[in-house]
Amino acid sequence: MTIKLHCFGESGHSYKAALALQLSGLDWEPVFVDFFSGQHRGKDYRNLNVMAEAPVLVDGDIRLSQSGVIQQYITDKTGKFGGKSEDKYEVLRWVLWDNHKLSSQVGMTRFLMNFLPEDKRPQEVIDFMQGRLKAAFATLENQLKGRDWLVGDAMSNADLTCCGYLFYDEPFGFDRKDYPNIDAWLTRISAMPGWKHPYDLMPGNPSDRA
């Protein structure tokens, strides 16, 4: 049975789940969520996910939201990306750090800078968020010093969650050339067989609304 992932291309959290599915080799297909038209707030979508968020994974009778949960489900189903048994809590630590310190803040900053009308962008808020992001990027850069992957000796959910937003081209205060360890790590991830850019992996692109 083909796994369905309700997602949209602009969503970094959707990309984390989609990329894990893609690299796992599981049979899956994206289902477009028209987020910018408010589909996620409608009754039908709330019946799918009471949290009114994307992504949502549907695998037969199993229905899951939250990218970290979906990534763990993929690990449990395939045995991939969980790291060695002694590393599982360290992998989880980075998944939680990303959701609290990195992706949540990148997501908001990127939205404010790119998806709001220019005259409604709150510059003071953007400046504050970019300051916080600099600290998060420094943490990631430091962890990757002298290592190929965030945890252990192979790609894990720690990498798949933390990289999610960093492949997007829209400006949010991140430039790969300023972070050589992150840059090399992203290059390693994008060299994995089956890797695709978020706008190639999922439907939904800012150009669709241009």
The domain limits of the chain are 3-81+195-209, 85-190
Q: Which residues contact 126 (CB under 8 A, 6 or more apart)?
A: 109, 112, 113
Q: Is the pLDDT of residue 108 over 90?
A: yes
Is-contact 183 176, C-beta < 8 A? Answer: yes
Domain 85-190: which CATH number of 1.20.1050.10, 3.40.50.360, 3.40.50.720, 3.40.630.30 = 1.20.1050.10
Per residue in 122-171, pLDDT (tens digit) is: 999 999 999 999 999 999 999 999 999 999 999 999 999 999 999 999 99
Domain at 3-81+195-209, CATH homologous superfamily: Glutaredoxin (3.40.30.10)
Q: Is the pLDDT of residue 210 over 80?
A: no
* Residues 142-175: b if buried by 16+ CB within 10 A, e if exposed: ebbeeeebbbbeebbbbbbbbbbbbbbeeebbbe
Per residue in 1-37, pLDDT (tens digit) is: 899 999 999 999 999 999 999 999 999 999 999 887 8
pLDDT at 41: 79
Q: Is the pLDDT of residue 209 over 70?
A: no
Q: 45: pLDDT confidence band, cut at 50, 70 and 90? A: confident
pLDDT at 37: 83
**What integer best gives the mean pLDDT of the chain?**
95
Dist CA 142 CA 150 (whole Å): 10
